[in-house]
Every structure is written in structure tokens, then in C-alpha cells.
Amino acid sequence: MQEVTDLEFMRVLHGYGNPDLYFTEYFRVHAHSRPDRYILRSIIENPTGRPIVAQMIGDDIDRLVANAEELQRYPVAGIDLNLGCPAPCVCSKNSGGGLLRNPAKVDAILSALRSCVHVAFTVKTRIGFESPDEFDRLIDIFGQHEIDLLSVHGRTVAERYNTAIHYDKIRLAVQRLPCPVLANGNVVSLRTALLTLKQTGAAGLMIGRGAIRHPWIFAHLRHYFEHGTELPAPDLRDLRGYIELLYRETRNEEATTLQHITRMKRYLNFIAPGLGADERFLYEIRRVREEAEFFAICDRHLKEGAAVPAEPPPESVFAGLAGLDSVA
């Protein structure tokens, strides 16, 4: 997820229970672009012991090919094309989810990338731009290019994060494509993870926003699949410790305190909804400017031993944040 699930976040997540596979933030590809050095650090310095896939976004075929070739000089497990980002600033440039308006262009890009990618070639997509009915044609296109893995966010671009997941469309991809399919969208807890797998038959799950709120989710899923039992839920003190670790590990020494707190608010936008009466914790944290005040607010709201709510409230802003649809 762009500007959130970077190298520093990977380090933190690694300590709570790794996913099996990581995806980088997306490399923006455009005329004369080269792979971003900051994002490359996630590949070069990958601390997790897990494979990592380099994710690209763009619509310039020649530059996508050039960047894919350059990225393969690094220790990547795969190259991923993002067809899922719903952010207006991305879609207006016919990138990310915006490409779904032009299936012929998607077809041409996949053909060019399949020819030059010699590691795993993966795609992240939504089920259409305006209508879920568009997904049938997209599946046909995906099936023509021998992609190695497809990750499907079960909403259209127009639906952003504001509707129920179309599990039937993910299941359709599972049934019709020879490659493994990962299900994505609203996987925020053990319950929603198991529901998604049951409804879709997917080979696995792609988790982004849910991993920011609940970094324990991978360890809890792995324990459930291995033992058939649930681990105890983390409590608010555990969450307080996680936030402090995030604060410490993501700190850039060149950033001012206010700049770092602004960065932390990106994480808290996903962590805080549903914590405390009337969303007071989120309200206060969004207005903080000083480090002491930041942790005083955390101490005030996260000092009890109560369990962290398993899921954010359905009506929370957690479901409405856009522009962060890349994956962890």
C-alpha cells in the first residue's frame, strides 16, 4: 500500500508473524522513469526472509517493459502489474484501475510483459471499472497470457471501498483460470479471512489494510490452519506497544517531529477506527502535533486490558480511505 507498507513497515510486520509473500509499493512507470530507489530498498534490504514481488503501475508499454527488465536484476520473486488502484489521481492517467476502461490496452500490456518477465508474472486487478459484468472479458484476457498469479479485489473501481465484496466474481476467476487466485478486499480478521476463502475457493488471501490494523493476522491465520484453534485476541496494551514500535521503527532522522507524526497518522487512520466511544481516539490523534501529546492520547485510550475489537465498525472511515490500494 503506497507510502504505508514500505521497508520500515515490513520490519515491524515481520516481528508479528510474516505473510508468505510480500509485494512492494508500486513503482510508478512513465516516460523516462527508472525504479524508485526508496522502494528498491524493500527488495535490496528485505528483512523478512520471505520472497518479495515488485509491483508496477503505468500504461506506457515500452517503459513498463524497460522497468520490468531492470527490476529483474534485483532479487525479486516476481513482477506484478497493478490494475487495481482506484485513486482518482491514478485512474485519470489511465493507470491502475483506470486501465480497466481499456481492455485492449490491458491485453497489449500483458502480452508485452509476459514476453520479458522471466520470474513469476503476477497481476492485481479489480473486477471492472464501472460494472462487475466487465469481469468476464477481463478473465478471458488474463487467461490468454499465462500469468502465474492473479490477485482479485472483489469490487469495481467505481465502488472504491464502499460496497460489499463480490465473492462470486472472485470465485469465477478461481474456476476459469489455471493460475492460483488470491482473494482481496475487507480481509480484516480471522472471521472475514475464513469467510472469504469459503465464499471464493481462492488459493490464498492478499491482505493490505487489515494487516495495518491487525499485524497479528498472519500468525493467527497460520495457527488456525495448523491447529484448528484460535489464538487469544490482542488487547489494547498490545496495540499500544505495536503503535510505539511503529513510531520508533518508521522514524526518519531527517524528518521533523511534525512530519513523522503526520506519517504516523497514515497508519492510525487504519488502526484507530472503532477504538473508544464516538471515535474519540481517532478524532484526537488526527489533531496531534507533538510527540508527547501523541503518546499521551495513546495512553489515555489504550491503557485498559480489553481485547482489541476484531473488526473495524462497518461504517468507519477505514472502509472509505482511497489512494492506498497497493498491497502489503
Confidence (pLDDT) at 32: 87
- Quick: pLDDT tens for 183-226: 999 999 999 999 999 999 999 999 999 999 999 999 999 999 99
Whether residues 243 and 121 share a domain: the answer is: no
- Establish if 307 belongs to a structural domain: no
Total domain count for the chain? Answer: 2
- Establish if 125 belongs to a structural domain: yes
Whether residues 59 and 149 share a domain: the answer is: yes
**pTM score of the predicted model:** 0.93
Whether residues 83 and 163 share a domain: the answer is: yes
Measured in degrees and rounded to the nearest 5, phi and psi for residue 176 equal -100, -20
Whether residues 27 and 141 share a domain: the answer is: yes
Whether residues 145 and 255 share a domain: the answer is: no
Whether residues 200 and 246 share a domain: the answer is: no
Alpha helices in the chain (DSSP H): 7-16, 37-44, 61-71, 88-91, 103-116, 135-143, 167-176, 190-200, 209-213, 217-227, 236-249, 257-271, 280-285, 291-301
Confidence (pLDDT) at 3: 79
Does the annotation mark 91 as catalytic?
A: no
Whether residues 217 and 111 share a domain: the answer is: yes
Any idea what the CATH number is for the domain that residue 100 is in? 3.20.20.70
Whether residues 280 and 165 share a domain: the answer is: no
pLDDT over threshold 60, residue 327: no
Helix, coil or strand: residue 106: helix
Whether residues 169 and 277 share a domain: the answer is: no
185, 204, 228 - which closes a domain: 228
Residues spanned by the domain of 222? 7-228
Query: To the nearest 10°, the Cα dihedral for 232, 19, 320, 159?
Result: -120
Confidence (pLDDT) at 315: 59
- Establish if 277 belongs to a structural domain: yes
Confidence (pLDDT) at 1: 79
- Quick: pLDDT tens for 277-304: 788 999 999 999 999 999 999 999 998 7
